[in-house]
Amino acid sequence: MKVLRASLMERCIGCHSCSLACARLVHKKFSWDTAGIRIMSTGGLTTGFEARLCLACDPAPCAEVCPTDAFSQRSGGGVVYRKKLCIQCGRCAEACPVDAVYLDGQGNPHVCIHCGQCVPYCPHSCLELQPVNQKEAGHEA
């Protein structure tokens, strides 16, 4: 199993191509509100950008608080999301320690599922899928 890591964010130019690729390819919508990865400025163009995405917690706090099992623990970290089970309560977003669960205008949660669909759309190779056993210091988002 692999997880998505934003290990080379010093290269990021803030183009948001990864977010738009996630929204379009994974969620079939062309809206940043439906992306599982968000790019945020760390204080302006000269200070760089950070990627906000699921860190593949194990155990995942968002899954632990989900009353319907719409969010369930994925083997090796992170979550599996089942939209049909979601009641849009927002507990998952409240429980996320890194603010990586986003609620769209209807209260539907969006989170990185570590599929890697965004990786080829980053023009500066800031993102990569890494095997779970490589989650060592220096490779965290």
Averaged pLDDT score across all residues of the chain:
88
Pairing mode of beta strands 102-103, 79-81: unpaired
What are the φ/ψ torsions at residue 89 (nearest 5 degrees)?
-80, -25
Q: How is domain 1-53+112-128 classified at the CATH fold level?
A: Alpha-Beta Plaits (3.30.70)
Q: What is the pLDDT of residue 27?
A: 82
pLDDT at 90 over 80: yes
Please give the DSSP secondary-structure letter assigned to residue 75.
T
Helix, strand or coil for residue 110? strand
Predicted local confidence at residue 136, as pLDDT = 40
> What residue spans of 40-113 are helical by DSSP H?
61-65, 91-95
Residue 83 identity = K
Q: Options 3.90.79.10, 3.30.70.20, 3.30.1960.10, 3.40.30.10; which CATH number does 56-98 get?
A: 3.30.70.20
- Mean pLDDT of all residues in 9-28: 91
CB 6 within 8 A of CB 14: no
Residue 137 predicted with pLDDT over 50:
no
- Residue 134's pLDDT is what? 43
2/117 Cα distance (integer angstroms) = 13
pLDDT tens, residue by residue, 102-116? 998 889 999 999 999
Cβ atoms of residues 78 and 38 within 8 Å:
no
In sequence order, what DSSP letters do the residues of 76-89 get, joined into one string? TSSEEE-GGG----
| Residue 76 or residue 91, greater confidence | 91
What is the rounded distance in angstroms from the CA atom of residue 34 to the CA atom of residue 132? Answer: 25
Predicted confidence (pLDDT) at residue 60 exceeds the cutoff of 70:
yes
In the chain, where does the domain assigned CATH 3.30.70.20 lie?
Answer: 1-53+112-128, 56-98
